[in-house]
Amino acid sequence: MAQYLTLPNGNSIEVPEGMDQQTAYAKAIEQFPEAFGLGPPKAEPETGFIAGVKSGFENLKGDIGAIGAGLGIEGGAEYSEAQREKAGQIYRQAEFSEDPIDYVTGLLGQSAAYMAAPIVAAGLASTAPVSGALGLGATAAGLLGAGAASATQLQFYLSRQ
């Protein structure tokens, strides 16, 4: 006759004949950790340049969301908060006294996204098709791209205050 073991989440699993209760629980925890409220351990935020770059891009997206919230775009504030939370899960700023190299490289990494934004905006504007003899379309696109990039930088500095 088949035996069943009821898991804490309410599901049941079949236990092979001859297996004692303690071994069955151990196997169940191994195979179904989420049923026991055990999941994979959450990764600790990292330090250093690469983690700083990843976090910087998430913060940049959060700053763009904050600008949208300031303009009255629905969901902008929630998006901004979610991106900032995600950035916090990726990167942890090392203390200067703990590791000066990680501290400086982390700051550089976080700033890289904000330094790259105007460069990308300028590159995109330079590839815009020229409209009219004076190239007013490219000029307008360049000004809009640079303005958006500058606004995110301003938002970054304000959020650091």
pLDDT at position 51 over 50: yes
Task: Give the separation between CA 90 and CA 47, rounded to whole angstroms.
Answer: 9
Q: Rounded distance, CA 14 to CA 98, Å?
A: 51
Question: Contact at 8 Å (CB) between 63 and 159?
Answer: yes
**pLDDT tens column, 110-155:** 889 888 877 887 777 666 665 444 455 555 555 555 555 555 555 5
The residue assigned the tokens 């092979």 is 16
Of all residues in the chain, the percent with pLDDT exceeding 70 is 74
Backbone angles phi, psi at 37, to 5 degrees: 80, 15
pTM of the shown model: 0.56
Mean per-residue pLDDT for 11-40? 83
Least confident of 34-48, 79-93, 101-115: 34-48
